[in-house]
Amino acid sequence: TTIRVLGGLLSSYHLTHDKLFLDKAVDIADRLLAAFNSESGVPFSDVNLATRSASKPKWGPDSSTSEVTTIQLEFRDLSIATGNPVYKAAVERVSRHVHELAKFDGLVPIFINAQSGNWRPHATITLGARGDTYYEYLLKQWLQGGKKETWLLDDYIEAINGMQKHLARRTQPSNLLFFGELHGSSKIFVNKMDELTCFLPGTLALGHHYGVPDK
């Protein structure tokens, strides 16, 4: 809902300068704010837009890491467009919270509990589904903020180094680079690469274009 509906409305507003789209963006964002009513500030996964209530998903107790860390660009932009800091404040709290959590050389598990604010123990580490855009949005938030939030860049660089150290492998016999996953408490490497991991080359290129060190 955030990246497609809210993001689409904001894009339409910036392209047309028609305030109708901004008003609709405010309406949907105000309804989505219910998701942040958890003890930790980490948003719940499911939101009823009609009743403005939120809850954990029916399939489990936790939110996906990519869900809670892939809402920042849109909410931050809405605060810029409206001058209302409440939207940025909500997602900034999430970003700061995740920043302070322990990581595995910058890599993060794919599930986080909204109430406790903690990672799900022994959850998979992957650049694929439920993890992918956490890494992408670190770089893009840093760029959106005018390269002033250096902690975002630090987290991004640490994560890229962690990917190279723990996830990067070469296929045999073709010697093609791929990025696998880490499973369980022992972080066993698994030769599995989701199609969603294909965000990575573009993200690396974007970082290089804007001056992120190659090594």
The tens digit of pLDDT for each residue in 156-170 reads 999 999 999 999 999
29 lies in some domain? no
pLDDT score of 214: 80
Contact 104, 182 (CB under 8 A): yes
Residue 19 lies in a domain: no
Digit-coded pLDDT (tens) for 46-86: 999 999 999 998 888 999 999 999 999 999 999 999 999 99
Q: Residue 122 falls within a domain, yes or no?
A: yes
**Is 27 part of any domain?**
no
Domain boundaries, position 168 = 64-209
- Residue at 37 is within a domain: no
> Both tokens of residue 211?
């001056």
Structural domain count, the chain: 1
Structural domain contains residue 53: no
Query: What is the rounded CA–CA span in Å between residue 190 and residue 215?
Result: 25
Cβ–Cβ under 8 Å, residues 167 and 104:
no
pTM here?
0.94
